[in-house]
Amino acid sequence: MSPENAVYLTGPKQLESLNGYSRIYYGAEFCETLLPAEKEFLRVVDFANENSLGFSLLTPFLTDSGMKRIDKLLTILSKNHAEAEVIVNDWGLLRRVNNLNLKPVMGRLINKQQRGPRTILLKGAPEGMFEHYSRGIADSEEMQNFLLENNIFRIELDNLLQGVGSDFSKTKLKASLHYPFAFISTSRLCLAANCESLLGRKKIDLGSCSRECERYLFKLKSKDMPVELLLKGNSYFFENKKIPENLAAQGIDRIVKKDSL
């Protein structure tokens, strides 16, 4: 059985060339400052409805201010796309999602995996170590029981360089694999902020944001890293174009594609 094809959008302009997908991922996964405006958000939700597409709202870790902004988007979603998913990356949002009868999904930020690309440099390590590093906290029975008790039936996964060993085929859970960009880590400190200003070189804080991250992607190379690191705003990624075999056998029934960071 072929996996469901979903597309990760970074802006409504991408709707113009959308083809061959059955689900839209839209929102902000790593920074609350990038959450869409209500009018823009409704436009994308309406497009999904008009074209009979599934919809998954991406949400980041949140401050109190961010929680208020998200709450407005959740209200729009519950009124206009009752079958929508909400990718939860802050446990504080879970109760609100359930109260609105939307479908919560365990996001990549709270599904801890061993994402660091240096893992594959552990040559000579026992085979069991790589197997351990190919899994995440959602593989534990305790976590799976917690998720199901809180109406979470889907988990978001990264395409790890050491392979994806998670197996949900014998559980009530399903999983989505993000491709080709795998998330490594994130922070509230954004290294892209003020990057267009010479004065900004000396200033890295939680202050004003001109959304420079929407215009710049930084590529970082090191002899100690097996792959190139990609810095987008406050988050690091790497690219892995190799899709694991036998996804269906592992309970992974959806691929979330993002054409660019």
Measure the CA dihedral 122/123/125/126, to 10°. 130
Q: Which residues of the chain are under the pLDDT cut of 50?
A: none
Looking at residue 14, its amino acid is: Q
pLDDT at res. 55 = 97
Tabulate helix, strand, coil % of the chain (nearest 5): 30, 25, 45
Dihedral sign from CA coordinates of 252, 256, 260, 261: negative
Judge whether 49 and 24 are in contact, CB under 8 Å.
no
pLDDT at res. 77 = 96
Please tell me the pTM assigned to this model. Answer: 0.93
Q: CA–CA separation, 12 vs 202, rounded Å?
A: 34
Q: Which two tokens stand for residue 21?
A: 């997908």
Query: Strand, coil or helix: what is 78?
Result: helix
Q: What residue ranges do the domains of the chain occupy?
A: 4-183+239-257
Q: Which two tokens stand for residue 36?
A: 């869409």
Q: In the 3-class helix/strand/coil scheme, how is 102-148 assigned residue by residue?
A: CEEEECCCCCCECCCHHHHHCCCCCHHHHHHHCCEHHHCHHHHHHHH
pLDDT at res. 117 = 86
Whether domain 4-183+239-257 has CATH 3.20.20: the reply is: yes
Place of tokens 């959806």: 254
Other CB atoms within a 10 A radius of the CB of residue 148 amount to 13
pLDDT at res. 207 = 61
Q: CA–CA separation, 112 vs 114, rounded Å?
A: 7
Q: At 43, phi and psi to the nearest 5? A: -60, -45
The number of angstroms, rounded, from the C-alpha of 202 to the middle of its chain's C-alpha atoms is 30
pLDDT at res. 127 = 72
Angle 68-72-74 from CA coordinates, rounded to 5°: 110
Q: Which two tokens stand for residue 72?
A: 């407005």
pLDDT at res. 201 = 55
Judge whether 254 and 174 are in contact, CB under 8 Å.
yes
Per DSSP, the residues of 187-227 read: -SS-TTTTTTSTGGGG--SSS----GGGT--EEE--TT-SS
pLDDT at res. 131 = 79
pLDDT at res. 204 = 60
Span 116-161, pLDDT tens digits: 888 877 767 777 777 788 899 999 999 999 999 999 999 999 999 9
